């Protein structure tokens, strides 16, 4: 119950146990195609260029920037936590002119501030669900008024847990991770790129490994010849395929509702135990609840007790909130009432309530 990874769906372990396929085996290629199609369903998109990047969520972030940012490109980034900061670092290494829009941690980034930050940005980038603070930043308004800019959205912690609508909202590039609300171990970064953004992919991105023109010739073509780029991480793709299967068997809306219900249960229970909610009201993520520790509760020893005695992991605060804030995840297969009850019961015992 940390900020991810959560527990994988049981179907994932079964997928890992299957015999190895080659990355050019027709059976694997079919599995990869189906995985991309399932990703389109969870991203709510018809973008042809939708695929798992062969690295963790941060590789997805780097792929998102390195393919469309050229030296000198103005890039506006909303910064209300660690992952907004990371976007600035990644964009700067691509040579971007980074225009950060800083907001206090725990608050969402107002669309107006992003829209007025630069007269003609190439990219406006924002984190939909900040894993460091448990805050949701809404992106619909950004998408509506972005003008010629590409809208780039980090939905590592949001995808599968709360509504995200790539096409309906007008998102150009979105990436996620597998280990949050998709219920799969970390190791891949689902990515989707609109046709509008695809046309702006630079001819030779600084990264060979993350070059979407080349990767797309392996994963992408609906018809025609596939061209080998790099050896796909076969087992992780099979795991993602299985995890997405579990999500879609349940139904995406049902998954959102389950996360919402667990978040509500957790917020109520933690407040009853003396924890105060950290994130701004109206923008709290159900899949990641952030709380101020009650007076007198020691962060490190309590988290160690939870882990060792009860087998429950919760996450500590980051940056200036280390030692003062917890991040409690309820994501993917972990988002079950029984897990919330276990945590609340364990905490009540530890706190002597």
Is residue 344 within 8 A of residue 269, CB to CB? The reply is: yes
CA distance 134 to 280: 9
Stretch binding a second copy (CB under 8 A), from 10-18, 120-128, 160-168, 281-289: 10-18
Rounded to the nearest whole angstrom, what is the least distance from the CB of residue 167 to a second copy in the complex? 27
CA distance 83 to 57: 11
Question: Pick from 89, 195, 249, 276: which binds a second copy (CB under 8 A)?
Answer: 89
Q: Does 16 bind a second copy (CB under 8 A)?
A: yes
Q: Does 243 bind a second copy (CB under 8 A)?
A: no
Binding mask of the shown chain, residues 128 to 167, with x at each position contacting a second copy by CB under 8 A: ----------------------------------------
> Which tokens sit at 220?
């992408």
> Which tokens sit at 95?
């040579």
**Cα dihedral value 176, 180, 183, 184, nearest 10:** 60
Binding mask of the shown chain, residues 35 to 74, with x at each position contacting a second copy by CB under 8 A: -------------------xxxxxx-xx------------
User: To which residue do tokens 């992408």 refer?
Assistant: 220
CA distance 152 to 132: 19
Q: Does 177 bind a second copy (CB under 8 A)?
A: yes
Rounded to the nearest whole angstrom, what is the least distance from the CB of residue 222 to a second copy in the complex? 21
Q: Does 8 bind a second copy (CB under 8 A)?
A: yes
Dihedrals phi, psi of 192, to nearest 5 degrees: -135, 140
Instruction: Please state the length of the chain.
Output: 353
Question: Pick from 33, 85, 93, 336: which binds a second copy (CB under 8 A)?
Answer: 93
Q: Does 176 bind a second copy (CB under 8 A)?
A: no
Q: Does 307 bind a second copy (CB under 8 A)?
A: yes
Q: What sign for the dihedral angle of Cα 259, 181, 283, 104?
A: positive
Is residue 147 within 8 A of residue 119, CB to CB? The reply is: no
Rounded to the nearest whole angstrom, what is the least distance from the CB of residue 79 to a second copy in the complex? 15
Q: Does 2 bind a second copy (CB under 8 A)?
A: yes
112 or 322, CB closer to a second copy?
Answer: 322
Rounded to the nearest whole angstrom, what is the least distance from the CB of residue 111 to a second copy in the complex? 26
**Alpha helical stretches, state H, the chain:** 10-16, 26-43, 57-66, 82-93, 111-115, 140-145, 166-169, 195-198, 212-219, 234-250, 252-272, 299-310, 337-351
44 is in an annotated binding site: no
Question: Which spans of this chain sit near a second copy (rule: CB under 8 A)?
Answer: 2, 4-8, 13, 16-17, 19-20, 22-25, 54-59, 61-62, 86, 89-90, 93-94, 177, 179, 185-187, 204-209, 229-236, 239, 307, 313
Q: Which residues are annotated as a binding site for substrate?
A: 327
């Amino acid at each position: 119950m940390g900020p991810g990874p959560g527990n994988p769906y049981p179907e994932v372990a079964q997928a890992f146990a299957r015999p190895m396929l080659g990355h050019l085996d027709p059976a694997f290629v079919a599995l990869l195609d189906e995985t991309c199609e399932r990703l389109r369903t969870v991203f709510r998109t018809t973008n042809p260029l939708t695929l798992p990047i062969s690295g963790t969520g941060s590789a997805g972030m780097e792929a998102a920037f390195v393919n469309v940012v050229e030296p000198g490109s103005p890039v506006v980034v909303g910064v209300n936590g660690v992952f907004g900061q990371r976007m600035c670092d990644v964009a700067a290494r691509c040579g971007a002119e980074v225009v950060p829009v800083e907001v206090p941690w725990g608050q969402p980034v107002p669309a107006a501030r992003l829209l007025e930050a630069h007269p003609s940005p190439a990219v406006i980038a924002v984190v939909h669900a900040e894993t460091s603070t448990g805050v949701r930043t809404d992106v619909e308004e950004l998408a509506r008024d972005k003008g010629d800019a590409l809208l780039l959205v980090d939905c590592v912690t949001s995808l599968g847990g709360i509504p995200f609508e790539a096409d309906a909202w007008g998102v150009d590039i979105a990436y996620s991770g597998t280990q949050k609300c998709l219920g799969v171990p970390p190791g891949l970064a689902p990515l989707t790129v609109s046709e509008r953004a695809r046309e702006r992919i630079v001819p030779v991105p600084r990264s060979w490994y993350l070059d979407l023109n080349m990767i797309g010739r392996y994963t992408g073509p609906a018809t025609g010849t596939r061209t080998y780029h790099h050896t796909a991480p076969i087992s992780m793709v099979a795991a993602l395929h299985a995890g997405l299967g579990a999500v879609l068997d349940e139904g995406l809306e049902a998954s959102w509702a389950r996360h919402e219900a667990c978040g509500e249960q957790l917020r109520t229970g933690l407040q009853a135990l003396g924890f105060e909610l950290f994130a701004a009201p109206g923008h709290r993520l159900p899949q990641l609840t952030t709380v101020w520790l009650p007076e007198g509760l020691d962060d490190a020893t309590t988290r160690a007790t939870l882990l060792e005695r009860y087998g429950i992991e919760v996450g500590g605060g980051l940056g200036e909130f280390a030692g003062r804030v917890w991040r409690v995840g309820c994501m993917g297969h972990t988002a079950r009432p029984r897990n919330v009850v276990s945590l609340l019961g364990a905490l009540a015992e530890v706190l002597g309530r």
